[in-house]
């Protein structure tokens, strides 16, 4: 049975979004799932459609496990229902509760990151969690200066630089390739994370790994700010690649252009993670990844309700 057009349109919007990070897209996914649960018939057919949407949302952005984790958490709760008719409204309630947890977790990660943002801070691209942390550090009087990399090809770092400057933060915008030149002058590097892998590696905007290598050489600690829902239960995730035209719209014949959005930064290059559970070492990530893996058991239980 095909999904309603409004559902597929919401799903397509999440797949196509190039402006916002994993946290905001995960909230979009939960909002769509909650709305769908409110609209779905209280029946096996309705639960089947809701289950199909949840599977599609989970697979929408493979490099952003927060979406899959939060969808899994909501559906894990809903799968505890005694019947399909009961599971649909339970999914609506569970999704609303999960969305509240996600919002609270984002705030907790930003608070933990703000405590690390002291002196001169080096950042790459534009993480919403990092942005909140920098604003809080400015209000606390612990932030002196921010060096922001522009974040090609979307140049989202420019918007972060503009916002910080408007709030009175001394801000320097540099091209991505110049990050290494500024690693030694920074007190700390603070980046976002689209995913944290079970071994403590970070998947984030391409260029993060080069920044981390420069920071290691300079003796500057690098932290990734992310709520715990971004911890992936799987050891490897695909690195999204987008349209080459975003990099060079009129590339001449014979020139191949690649537009890889993310890279993987190994755990030894990361000092720690500012999360809603506090500042975690890379070795503390594994147990949380196992917990997230358990949430994925909802599909088997849903199949029993749909029989």
Mind telling me the catalytic residues?
Answer: 194
- Kindly report the number of other CB atoms within 10 A of residue 155's CB atom: 14
Q: 60: which residues sit within 8 A by CB, 6+ positions away?
A: 11, 14, 15, 29, 67
DSSP letter at 297 equals G
**Residue 23 burial class via C-beta count within 10 angstroms: exposed 0-12, middle 13-18, buried 19 and up:** buried
The backbone torsions φ and ψ at residue 229, rounded to the nearest 5 degrees and listed phi first, read -70, -10
**C-alpha gyration radius of the chain:** 20
| Buried/exposed 28-41: b ≥16 CB within 10 Å, e otherwise | bbbebbbebbeebe
Rounded to 5 degrees, what angle do the CA atoms 147, 206, 12 make? 115
């Amino acid at each position: 049975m095909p999904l309603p057009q409004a559902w597929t349109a919401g799903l397509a919007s999440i797949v196509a979004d190039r402006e916002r990070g994993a946290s905001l897209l995960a909230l979009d996914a939960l909002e769509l799932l909650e709305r769908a649960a409110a609209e779905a018939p209280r029946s096996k057919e309705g639960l089947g459609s809701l289950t199909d949407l949840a599977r599609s949302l989970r697979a929408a952005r493979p490099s952003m496990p927060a979406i899959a984790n939060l969808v899994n958490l909501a559906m894990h709760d809903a799968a505890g229902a005694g019947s399909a008719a009961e599971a649909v409204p339970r999914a609506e309630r569970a999704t609303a509760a999960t969305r509240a947890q996600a919002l609270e977790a984002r705030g907790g990660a930003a608070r933990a990151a703000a405590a690390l943002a002291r002196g001169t801070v080096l950042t790459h691209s534009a993480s919403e969690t990092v942005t909140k942390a920098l604003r809080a550090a400015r209000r606390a009087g612990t932030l002196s200066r921010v060096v922001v990399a522009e974040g090609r090809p979307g140049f989202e770092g420019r918007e972060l630089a503009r916002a910080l400057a408007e709030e009175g933060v001394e801000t320097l915008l540099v091209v991505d390739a110049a990050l290494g030149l500024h690693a030694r002058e920074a007190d700390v590097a603070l980046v976002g994370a689209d995913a944290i892998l079970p071994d403590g590696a970070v998947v984030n905007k391409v260029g993060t790994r080069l920044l981390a290598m420069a920071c290691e050489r300079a003796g500057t600690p690098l932290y990734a700010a992310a709520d715990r829902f971004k911890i992936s239960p799987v050891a490897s995730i695909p690195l999204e690649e987008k349209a080459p035209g975003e990099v060079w719209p009129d590339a001449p014949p014979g020139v191949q252009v690649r537009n890889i959005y993310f890279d993987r930064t190994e755990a030894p290059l990361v000092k720690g993670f500012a999360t809603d559970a506090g500042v975690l070492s890379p070795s503390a990530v594994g147990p949380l990844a196992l917990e997230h893996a358990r949430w994925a058991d909802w599909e088997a239980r849903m199949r029993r309700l749909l029989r």
